[in-house]
Amino acid sequence: MADFTSDFWNIYIAVLTLLGIFGCGLLLWSQSKHKVAITAAGHASLDAQGKPASRDTTGHVWDDDLMELNTPMPRWWMFLFYITIIFGLVYLLLYPGLGSYAGKLGWKSSGEYQAELQKADADYGPLFSGYLKQDLKVVAADPKAHAIGERLFLTYCAQCHGSDARGNKGFPNLTDKDWLYGGEPDVIKTTILHGRNGQMPPMGAALGTDKDVENVAQYVLSLSGPSFDPIKAAFGKPKFAACAACHGAEGHGNQAMGAPNLTDKIWLYGGSADTIMETIRKGRNNTMPAFSDFLGDAKVHVLAAYVWSLSNDTAAVQK
């Protein structure tokens, strides 16, 4: 790993960059030294037969008399190229671009980003601080706070939960009232601030054979009412005791642990028999990232209010 962090690569990149720029300049200079005899009429010199002199062509001829003239680039074009090269050198002197060289101005994209964040905090900090002092349900009922929370959600949460917050395979639907850890305002805010790490351990070996896994899957299906094999479900019920520590003896789940309720018809990864057996055999591991350091308590407060409003009636709060 040290090979990729040594100063050699910084020097290597800087040398290649400078050689490329100076090489372009040298090529341009060498080509600008070439001159072609031009007649008073402004054309390349012609021989006795009225054709361009051989020294004025590249030697490429098509259809016997169609020749490619060896004429120099226009002066304005060459001067513009020289200006471009000078601009590139001045830019690399002032700004980072040559390996680890930071540039005379010391500009950094991260520094500009932090400056923008500080300006935004100065402009909008009092607004968010005002919302932070209010009860989260009251903030959820505020139309202006709702609009701000929606924009925060679309920026930071929609990638996983969808722009409509209805989730996707492996990502919870936030518009219903089915919550892994609880749907109270403070719980939602805690989830956003500190994240969650939901783990379902592989249970295939603990249950026994593949047949046992299939039987338990059929029993799990029987808890939520869809079609299932009653005989296999009967054999799977005693084996479900290995799962009861998290999901409870009746399969109602445990919000303190984030264990899902298996008696409703809401499935995070799908409710088919094959998907349930895959979950039992291999387990699941889901991570919800923490936003406390990135957004701060005040912005999370507004965001949590918006998320809470997706599954609750804010009109009742206003009354």
Q: Which two tokens stand for residue 299?
A: 């912005």
* Res. 13: pLDDT tops 60: yes
Q: Which CATH number fits domain 116-195+289-318: 3.40.50.1820, 3.40.50.300, 1.10.760.10, 3.20.20.70?
A: 1.10.760.10
- 309 and 177 Cβ atoms separated by less than 8 Å: no
Q: Which two tokens stand for residue 222?
A: 């029987």
CA distance 61 to 82: 32
* Res. 258: pLDDT tops 80: yes
CATH number of 199-288: 1.10.760.10
For the chain, the structural domain boundaries read 2-94, 116-195+289-318, 199-288
225 pLDDT band (50/70/90 cuts)? confident
Q: Which two tokens stand for residue 92?
A: 């690399």
209 pLDDT band (50/70/90 cuts)? very high
User: Model pTM?
Assistant: 0.69
List, in sequence order, the alpha helices (H) in the chain: 7-32, 75-94, 109-132, 136-140, 143-156, 158-161, 185-194, 204-207, 210-224, 230-239, 244-247, 273-282, 292-309, 314-318
**Segment 75-96, tens digit of pLDDT:** 888 899 999 999 999 999 999 8
Tell me the one-letter amino acid at 125.
Answer: G
**Segment 100-144, tens digit of pLDDT:** 888 899 888 888 888 888 888 888 889 999 999 999 999 999 999
Domains 116-195+289-318 and 199-288 share a fold: yes
Show the CA angle centred on residue 119, arms to residues 118 and 124, nearest 5°. 100
Q: Return the minimum-mean-pLDDT range out of 22-26, 61-65, 155-159, 262-266.
A: 61-65
Q: Return the minimum-mean-pLDDT range out of 48-57, 152-161, 216-225.
A: 48-57
- 213 and 281 Cβ atoms separated by less than 8 Å: yes
Q: Which two tokens stand for residue 193?
A: 């601030």
- 115 and 48 Cβ atoms separated by less than 8 Å: no
